[in-house]
Structure 1
Amino acid sequence: MSRLAENLALLLLDDESGRSTVDLGRRHRAVGTAVLFDLVRAGRVDIPSVPDAKEARVHVVDAAPTGDPALDAALRKLGGEPKVGWAAENAGHESWQPLLVLLADAGAVRLEEQRVLGVIKIRTWPAADTSRELAVRDAITAALGGAEPDEETAVLIAILHGIGEVPGDDDPSVRARAEEIAGFAWASGPLRDAFHGLDVLPAFILFAA
């Protein structure tokens, strides 16, 4: 059920070092945004439209366990109808480790542990089987090259655009295409219905107060 967030996590992990390629703040907001999308698609949360989009809040429709540890970890932090930016940051923080465990269970990454100075335990998650990640990257590359993206690919591009991590965006044409996709990623389908017309750029989700 957390497929979108899992795929984003793969994109944000370095295959060799198994470490995040972006800072914690951007990672939490990005992954949290993907988790919110997964929860919306699962019918577990809603974000009712309000006159001032910055005041939009996440409403939990169904708090019962989903059976997905990443989504359940996020759901436990979403009580009280928090603002979307806060919800994304906290959902991303809570779900990151469960997402990595899910990916390890699926064989996409492997857990490696080491101790620094014999005391501090450090976990890394290098790639084990890159086929899933490569399929996601190929879909993103095709979309940035002009192909029509499916909904999931469009949302991934929108989120990556929001944190400045679109692959190849040093090319002006790629950057322009990413901006175009980001602007329309919310335009139709179940996500638009769930968000009640909040068809805004991902910067809102990623950086709203």
Structure 2
Amino acid sequence: MSRLAENLALLLLDDESGRSTVDLGRRHRAVGSAVLLDLVRAGRITIPAAPDGKEPRVHVVGAGPTGDAALDAALGKLTGEPKVGWAAENAGHEAWKPLLELLAADGAIRLEEQRVLGVIKVKTWPAADTTREGAVRDAIAAALRGAAPDDETAVLITILHAIGAVPGGGDPAVQARAEEISRTAWASGPLKDAFHGLDTLPTFLLFAAS
């Protein structure tokens, strides 16, 4: 299940306008990072550490359907053992629409269509039921106030911090706490083993967003 990527997509959508709150480049890289993590957890890819400081590459170990449209869309693009940065950006691009459709089917957002100048059709995805998003935001807010985050919350904060989209990020104390979580989220616990190789993603995201 694309749980991390779905929750991140909710965080990157404006509830009222239904539009992305960050530019496409940062959105693709951020969402793609979460998609790769979901694929690792699903046992479909591995990302072994690369030698000599080289960028890790994605290895597909199970290419069959996952039963999740977003993960399947991303998995289909991960051929030829791509570098993790390229894989994240392309996974985010491929998975974005399926993620929105999954969230709409879950009732969290809804599709609205309108025409600009009576010609160009524009799709937006405003909030329909904020219960799920609210729970995710509450967990993030608690962690940023000092509570110990669970693994998924720590990853979401790490990715949001890397693209400059942490809620309340204008507060220096919030930024400092987000930085602290970003440094430690990959250092211990289940993430260290389950997401081996993806500890390079915060650095990649920061570089790519600059």
Shorter-normalised TM range: over 0.9
**Aligned counterparts, 1:71-110, within 5 A:** 71-110=71-110
Report the residue type matching 2:30 in the other structure.
Answer: A
Q: Does the CA contact (< 8 Å) of 2:59 and 2:81 recur in 1? A: yes
CA distance in 1, matches of 2:29, 2:206: 5
**Aligned counterparts, 1:14-163, within 5 A:** 14-163=14-163
* Structure 1 residue 51 displacement after superposition: 2.2
CA distance in 1, matches of 2:89, 2:200: 18
Report the residue type matching 2:163 in the other structure.
Answer: I
* Structure 1 residue 3 displacement after superposition: 0.6
TM-score, normalised on structure 1?
Answer: 0.94
RMSD of Structure 2 on Structure 1 (CA): 1.6
CA distance in 2, matches of 1:73, 1:204: 22
Q: Does the CA contact (< 8 Å) of 1:186 and 1:200 recur in 2? A: no
Report the residue type matching 1:128 in the other structure.
Answer: A
CA distance in 2, matches of 1:173, 1:195: 28
Identity %: 80
The answer to whether structure 1 residue 170 and structure 2 residue 170 are counterparts is: yes
CA distance in 1, matches of 2:19, 2:138: 22
* Structure 1 residue 205 displacement after superposition: 5.0
Report the residue type matching 1:143 in the other structure.
Answer: A
Report the residue type matching 2:59 in the other structure.
Answer: H
Specify every segment of 5 or more residues in structure 2 that has no aligned partner in the other structure, as ranges: none
* Structure 1 residue 57 displacement after superposition: 0.6
Q: Does the CA contact (< 8 Å) of 2:9 and 2:99 recur in 1? A: yes
Specify every segment of 5 or more residues in structure 1 that has no aligned partner in the other structure, as ranges: none
* Structure 1 residue 168 displacement after superposition: 1.3
Instruction: Give the equivalent residue in structure 1 for 2:10.
Output: 10
Give CA-to-partner distance per residue, 1:27-85, whole Å, 9 cap, x none: 00000000001001111111111124442111111011101000000000101111111
Change (3 A) 1:87 1:198: closer
CA distance in 2, matches of 1:190, 1:79: 27
Give CA-to-partner distance per residue, 1:90-138, whole Å, 9 cap, x none: 0000000000000000000000011223322110000000111111000
Report the residue type matching 2:9 in the other structure.
Answer: A
Give CA-to-partner distance per residue, 1:182-205, whole Å, 9 cap, x none: 011112344321443654461225
Give CA-to-partner distance per residue, 1:126-157, whole Å, 9 cap, x none: 00001111110000000000000000000000
* Structure 1 residue 206 displacement after superposition: 5.9
What is the aligned residue count?
208
* Structure 1 residue 89 displacement after superposition: 0.3
Q: Does the CA contact (< 8 Å) of 1:74 and 1:95 recur in 2? A: yes
CA distance in 1, matches of 2:54, 2:161: 19
* Structure 1 residue 173 displacement after superposition: 1.3
Q: Does the CA contact (< 8 Å) of 2:33 and 2:201 recur in 1? A: no
Report the residue type matching 2:175 in the other structure.
Answer: R
CA distance in 2, matches of 1:178, 1:201: 15
Secondary structure at 1:55 match in 2: coil
